[in-house]
């Protein structure tokens, strides 16, 4: 697990905590409105802001957790390889070399 | 149309990218659904909220994952904006109704 993933997980956790707190605040607010017998109209601004910011924080975290994308073009993939890596295949193996003689001695 | 080179793709990398994007979108739809439920959205406003959050998620993917060059990572030009949006809509509705019921309806 890379350090980016760890940081992303921590950010996700913070976002989740904010979301849980916002939901509990909403519940408390609604209970209070019911206790004083008023009708629910709109949520307070701070709860709304907390919910929206938790979504934003979580999106940043989850983007870090997800890991990096890979380039889909073969040419960009081949650019990273060395010529020795490309040549390592059965057609290029030589059996008839000096090793046979050297090992006998 | 340029006829200089035929483009070859690495299929494994296309699958890997689609998987990564689907992971981000489904996680975001869960959180966005919970937020919509907490905010007490009903009817069309909930779906509009989903559209806004999807656009925001697409922007995050565009900026943080593709670093402003989606052509390098996706075959289609609109894939980074549209891919997986409608698939995650159902989990959004699931969590939207769940949180709305838990916070607003039942005591």
Residue A79 backbone class (left: φ over 0; alpha: ψ -120 to 50; beta: rest): alpha
User: What contacts B23, CB < 8 A, 6 or more positions away?
Assistant: A62, A66
* Residue B94 clears pLDDT 90, i.e. is over it: yes
The answer for residues whose C-beta is within 8 angstroms of residue A101's C-beta and 6 or more apart is none
Residues of A whose CB is below 8 A from B9: 72-74
Compute mean pLDDT per 10 residues along chain A, 105 residues long, and list them: 84 91 88 81 84 91 85 77 81 81 81
Domain ranges (residues) in chain A: 3-70
The alpha-carbon radius of gyration of chain A (Å, integer) is 30
C-alpha atoms less than 13 angstroms from C-alpha of B41 in its C-beta half-sphere: 22
pLDDT at position B70 is 76
Per-residue confidence (pLDDT) for residue A93, from 0 to 100 = 80
Residue B4: what pLDDT?
Answer: 52
Using a pLDDT cut of 90, give the percent of chain B over it: 21
Alpha-carbon distance of A7 to B37, in angstroms, equals 28
Is the Cβ of B80 closer than 8 Å to some Cβ of chain A?
A: no
Q: What is the ipTM of this complex?
A: 0.82
pLDDT digits (tens, 9 = 90+) for B8-41: 777 788 888 888 888 999 999 999 999 999 888 8
Phi, psi of B9 (to 5 degrees): -110, 155
Tell if the CB–CB gap between A72 and B56 is shorter than 8 Å.
no
Give chain B's mean pLDDT: 84
DSSP H/E element including A17: helix A3-35
Choosing among B12, B21, B35, B68, which should be mutated to test the A contact, i.e. which has the most A CBs within 10 A? Answer: B35
Q: Closest Cα of chain B to A6: distance in Å?
A: 16
CA angle A12, B32, B66 (to 5 degrees): 65
């Amino acid at each position: 697990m890379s350090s980016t993933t760890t940081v992303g997980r921590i950010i996700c956790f913070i976002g989740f905590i904010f979301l849980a707190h916002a939901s509990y605040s909403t519940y408390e607010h609604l209970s209070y409105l019911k206790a004083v017998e008023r009708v629910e109209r709109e949520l307070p601004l701070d709860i709304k802001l907390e919910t929206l910011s938790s979504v934003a924080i979580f999106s940043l975290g989850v983007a870090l957790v997800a890991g990096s994308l890979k380039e889909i073009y073969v040419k960009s993939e081949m650019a990273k390889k060395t010529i020795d890596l490309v040549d390592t295949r059965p057609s290029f193996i030589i059996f008839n070399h000096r090793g046979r003689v050297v090992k006998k001695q | 149309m340029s006829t200089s080179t035929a483009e070859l793709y690495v299929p494994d990398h296309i699958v890997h990218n689609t998987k990564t994007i689907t992971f981000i979108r489904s996680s975001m739809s869960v959180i966005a659904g919970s937020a919509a439920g907490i905010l007490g959205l009903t009817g069309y406003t909930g779906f509009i909220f989903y559209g806004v959050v999807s656009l925001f998620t697409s922007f995050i993917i565009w900026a943080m994952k593709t670093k402003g060059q989606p052509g390098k990572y996706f075959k289609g030009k609109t894939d980074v904006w549209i891919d997986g949006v409608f698939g995650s809509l159902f989990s959004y509705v699931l969590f939207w109704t769940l949180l709305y019921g838990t916070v607003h309806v039942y005591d």
